[in-house]
Structure 1
Amino acid sequence: MTTTPAPRAPRPQTILEVVRTTWVTPHLVRLTLGGPGFDDFEPKDATDSYVKIFFAKPELGLEPPYDVAALRDTLAPDDLPVTRTYTVRRVDRSARTIDIDFVVHGDEGLAGPWAAAAQPGDRVVFAGPGGAYRPDPAADWHLFAGDESAVPAIAAALEALAPDAKGLAFLEIGGRDDLVDLVHPAGVQLIWVGRRGRDETTAGLLATAVSGHPWPAGRVQVFAHGERESMKALRDVFLNQRGLDRTQLSLSGYWAYGRTEDRFQAEKREPIGVVLPA
């Protein structure tokens, strides 16, 4: 006899409000979130901590927390709340706030335009946090690689390193006005990799930069996240060119060029969406 597995319980949702907005660069806006709901937020001891933010159509008047399973019985599929995944840039326990950075490409997408227009008092609803990576102090050196989507997680990791840590950080950006000030140990070199066009995607750009750079001696721990095809190219560098063990890698796609996040998430269960095969 077969049994139907019990449905997974929904993840608890945290409801915060925008305290302030800060434009870090012309294309990166930071939302500082706080309010009474901070007591419901349980920070995760990971520098790649992330949350899934819910977006509901304002005209429907839905009140959080959202019971998505129940809403499926009453709403059309296009009216259901959707989620977008974002890194928790910083948690300030004394101020009882968290920071989340959003890349903004004009009116493109859902979360970016919303964040660009956010005002103090606006509510933000999310589930999480998740996350699993934190720099290993036993590593001889660290390698970070990613595009703008990974800069918040890389920045958090750099701040968590010991003062005497050594490493390389390859950061892909669209132009000079995307440069950000990052706190990092003196022994970690920042290498900015610029695309020819802001919205152009070049899957091999990071891989070329990493493979062409001198490789320090010792055991490395890698954190590489960003556009999916770019991460596949880096996978070949790490596994085939450098012969690293998978235990040394935190490697995954945060997004895929030409895909909405909903399609990107669905493709994770398809061959095209696999970055690091089991």
Structure 2
Amino acid sequence: MNDLEAFARLVQALAPWRRQLIFIGGWGHRLHRLDRRANQPDYQPVFTRDTDLAFANTEPMEGDIKQALMQHGFQEELSGDHRPPAAHYTLGDEAGGFYAEFLTPLVGSGYKRGGVPDATMAKAGISAQKIRHLDILLVDPWVISLGHDDGVLLPERMDVQVVNPLCFMVQKFLIQQYRPANKRAQDVLYLYDTVELFGALLDEFNAHWHARVALELGNLADDVRRLSVQTFAEVNDLVREAARIPADRNLSPQQIQATCRYAFERMLR
């Protein structure tokens, strides 16, 4: 089973919750390519086995997502000592298969009473991980229509929610300090590729930054501006490592640095 077939199964299983769940992460970025405003690159998106779905834990979510997933062939894989345990919902063998995980914002210290980590929660039958700075990914999601023409073999076209590209980029700066080196480099590549997809929308993103995103961030907006300047002020080891990731294109560190420096100055000015 290829990843688009697996993804189609996931979309069908989650259809009743499509107005509450938002595709984020690598698959969110991949779905950005299907927006009519996106440029059409001649290279493949960064590959990822996992599909991350975000939801607001303050809103009601009825039904049993786990049961719906199992009816479409997914299995629940539990790990860790948290209560509830962290969970992946897998399709295919664990080593090479496709899997989904559910994420929701972490608010507060990250600990419950008694010093127990506040790392997971149960909702609508599934176990979701609580992640800091995830709340910005819930702001003004885009709606993408999926169907056979896009390689997603659904019975009929279906709309899904996808992370707003500006919020997707902003969050990369906010989580930078928590990421291992290889993931930080991959995030830089995601930033560059998203700018490439939506280079015509930089002024629109700037208007949205001022009208909505910066207001949601509050004091963190200054951190995002500072980190965007710091990350792309010069060609550094992080940018060099990002340029080495894609095997299907000749991408220079100078191109990543100059493009992103210009784009973020324009979007966040």
Q: TM over 0.5: same fold? A: no
Normalised by the length of structure 1, the TM-score is 0.26
Q: Which has the higher helix share?
A: 2
Tell which structure's C-alpha radius of gyration is larger: 1
Normalised by the length of structure 2, the TM-score is 0.26
Q: Which has the higher strand share?
A: 1
